[in-house]
């Protein structure tokens, strides 16, 4: 650490979740952090009409610290990328956790099918998400059940509006990634079926100077499944970017 005022870490969650998902990571970081509810999530009012990635990013930006080490997970990563691109003075470093990037036709078809499922049968979408995120992991059942409760508590229409941004947001930011100028890290789980290691390598290749990391054995909910590993990666990346290492 230096003797100067520490730049906080700001944490943005994924679609259907809320700021509380970051608690294990915040405990492990050992530095000042703030977790923010995305529009339509947690303590924020439900989304009542379609929104864009830019609108969600602008909403989040108004509630961020003046400058932060910005960490986004899944949908939160797309929002973080937008903020880093268009408001670089507010972002000291960018960490994209379990992020999609420039989906292929097949990947777009898969997420479009999940969006249609959410509109048609939300309870089934909740269960499919839980299975996709946690199947085969050692995450305690109590934690899995807590995630299920958070998902199930969503206003369905609000969830659909947010999920549509997640489904289309990589198109909105994809052509802008090469213009992100802050230090960036892309990290995901080895077994994440949606935000795959290939996507993380795609993202790191698209952002100048970005680093890529893949956590062995992890699925999509990396901040929950391997909070200590993720926190260590974030801390090491921040120290590297600030030249704090001896």
DSSP string over 134-168: HTT----HHHHHHHHHHHHTS-HHHHHHHHHHHHH
User: Distance of CA 203 to CAs 68, 124, 170, Å?
Assistant: 21, 30, 10
Q: What is the mean pLDDT of residues 113-121?
A: 95
In terms of Cβ atoms closer than 10 Å to its own Cβ (0-12, 13-18, 19+), residue 141 is exposed
Q: How much is the pLDDT for 245?
A: 36
Q: In 3D, which of 9, 204, 235 has the Cα closest to residue 99?
A: 204
Q: How much is the pLDDT for 4?
A: 59
Q: How much is the pLDDT for 237?
A: 98
Q: In 3D, which of 232, 173, 184 has the Cα closest to residue 208?
A: 184
Q: Is the pLDDT of residue 2 over 70?
A: no
| Domains annotated on the chain, with CATH | 9-242 (3.40.50.1820)
Residue 102 is classified by DSSP as S
Residue 246 is classified by DSSP as -
Q: Give the mean pLDDT of the chain.
A: 95
Alpha-carbon span 80 to 164, nearest angstrom? 17
Q: Is the pLDDT of residue 116 over 70?
A: yes
């Amino acid at each position: 650490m230096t003797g100067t005022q520490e730049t906080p870490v700001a944490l943005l969650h994924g679609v259907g979740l809320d700021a509380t998902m970051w608690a294990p990571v915040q405990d492990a970081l050992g530095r000042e952090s703030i977790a923010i509810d995305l529009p339509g999530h947690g303590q924020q009012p439900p989304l009542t009409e379609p929104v864009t990635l830019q609108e969600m990013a602008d909403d989040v930006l108004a509630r961020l610290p003046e400058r932060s080490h910005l960490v986004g997970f899944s949908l939160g990563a797309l929002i973080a990328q937008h903020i880093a691109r268009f408001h670089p003075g507010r972002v000291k470093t960018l960490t994209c956790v379990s992020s999609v990037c420039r989906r292929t036709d097949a990947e777009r078809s898969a997420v479009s099918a999940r969006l249609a499922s959410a509109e048609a049968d939300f309870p089934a979408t909740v269960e499919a998400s839980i299975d996709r995120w946690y199947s085969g992991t050692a995450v305690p059942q109590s934690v899995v059940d807590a995630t299920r409760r958070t998902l199930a508590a969503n206003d369905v229409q609000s969830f659909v509006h947010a999920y549509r941004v997640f489904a289309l947001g990589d198109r909105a930011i994809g052509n802008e990634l090469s213009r992100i100028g802050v230090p960036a890290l892309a990290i995901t789980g080895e077994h994440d079926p949606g935000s795959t290691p290939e996507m993380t390598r795609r993202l790191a290749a698209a952002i100048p100077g970005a680093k890529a990391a893949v956590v062995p054995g992890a699925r999509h909910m990396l901040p929950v499944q391997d909070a200590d590993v993720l926190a260590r990666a974030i801390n090491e990346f921040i120290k590297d970017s600030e030249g704090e290492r001896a």
